[in-house]
Chain A
Amino acid sequence: MLGVVGFFIYGRENIRLFDSINPKYSNQLLEIEMFTYCSLDIVDEKSQRATEMYLGQLFTDQKYRSYGFVTNTGIRMVLVLDATSAASLKDQEIRLIFKKFHGFYCNTISNPFYEIGTPMKSRFFDEGVKELYAVSE
Chain B
Amino acid sequence: MAFPFDILHAELIRTALESEKQRSAAKSEFHEVFNGLNLEHIEDGLIQKAFLHTNAETKLETIGFRVGRSLVEKVARDSPKLVTELEIVKFICKEFWVSVFGKQVDNLRTNHQGVYVVQDSRFTTLRTFPEGTQFIKDSAYFLALPCGLIRGALSALNIRAIVTPTVESLPATKFHIQIQQK
Query: Taking beta carbons and an 8 Å cutoff, which residues of A are in contact with B?
Result: 12, 50-53, 71-75, 102-103, 105-106, 109-110, 116
Task: Kindly state the interface size class of chain B when it binds its partner.
Answer: 10 to 19
Known contacts A50-B81, A51-B81, A52-B81; is A71 also within 8 Å of B76 by CB?
A: yes
In the complex, are the beta carbons of B69 and A53 less than 8 A apart? no
* A12 cross-chain contacts in B, Cβ below 8 A: 158
Residue numbers in A under 8 Å from B80 (CB-CB): 51-52
Tell me the complex Cα distance, A73–B82, Å: 9
Contact (Cβ within 8 A) B73 A106: yes
Within the complex, the shortest CB–CB distance from B135 to chain A, in Å, comes to 31
Contact A73 B81, beta carbon cutoff 8 Å: no
* Interface: B157 (CB within 8 A): yes
Q: Which of B66-98 touch A at CB < 8 Å?
A: 66, 69-70, 72-74, 76-77, 79-82
- Max count, chain A CB within 10 A of own CB: residue among B70, B72, B82: B70
B interface, CB within 8 angstroms of A: 66, 69-70, 72-74, 76-77, 79-82, 156-158
- Name A's interface SS: loop
Hey, which chain A residues are within 8 Å of B73, CB to CB?
71, 73, 75, 105-106, 109
In the complex, which residue of chain A has the Cβ closest to the Cβ of B91? A72
Q: Beyond the given A72-B157, A74-B158, could you list 15 further A-B residue pairs with CB under 8 A, ordered by the A residue number?
A: A50-B81, A51-B81, A53-B81, A71-B73, A71-B77, A72-B81, A73-B156, A74-B156, A74-B157, A75-B73, A103-B77, A105-B73, A106-B73, A110-B74, A116-B66
Are B74's CB and A73's CB within 8 A? Answer: no
B81 / chain A contacts, CB cutoff of 8 Å:
50-53, 72
| Contact B157–A73 (Cβ < 8 Å) | yes
**Distance to closest chain B CB from A103 (angstroms):** 7
Could you list 15 A-B pairs, sorted by A, with CB under 8 Å? A52-B81, A71-B73, A71-B77, A72-B79, A73-B73, A73-B76, A73-B157, A74-B157, A75-B73, A105-B73, A106-B73, A106-B74, A106-B77, A109-B73, A116-B70
Asked if A109 and B76 sit within 8 Å, CB to CB, the answer is no
Chain A residues in 8 Å Cβ range of B74: 106, 110
Distance between Cα atoms of A103 and B77 in the complex (Å): 8
Least CB distance, B87 to chain A, in whole angstroms: 10
Residues of B within 8 A of A51 (CB): 80-81
A53–B82 Cα distance when bound, in Å, is: 10
Contacts of B157 in A (CB 8 A): 72-74
A72 touches B69 (CB 8 A): no
A31 to chain B: closest CB distance in Å? 32
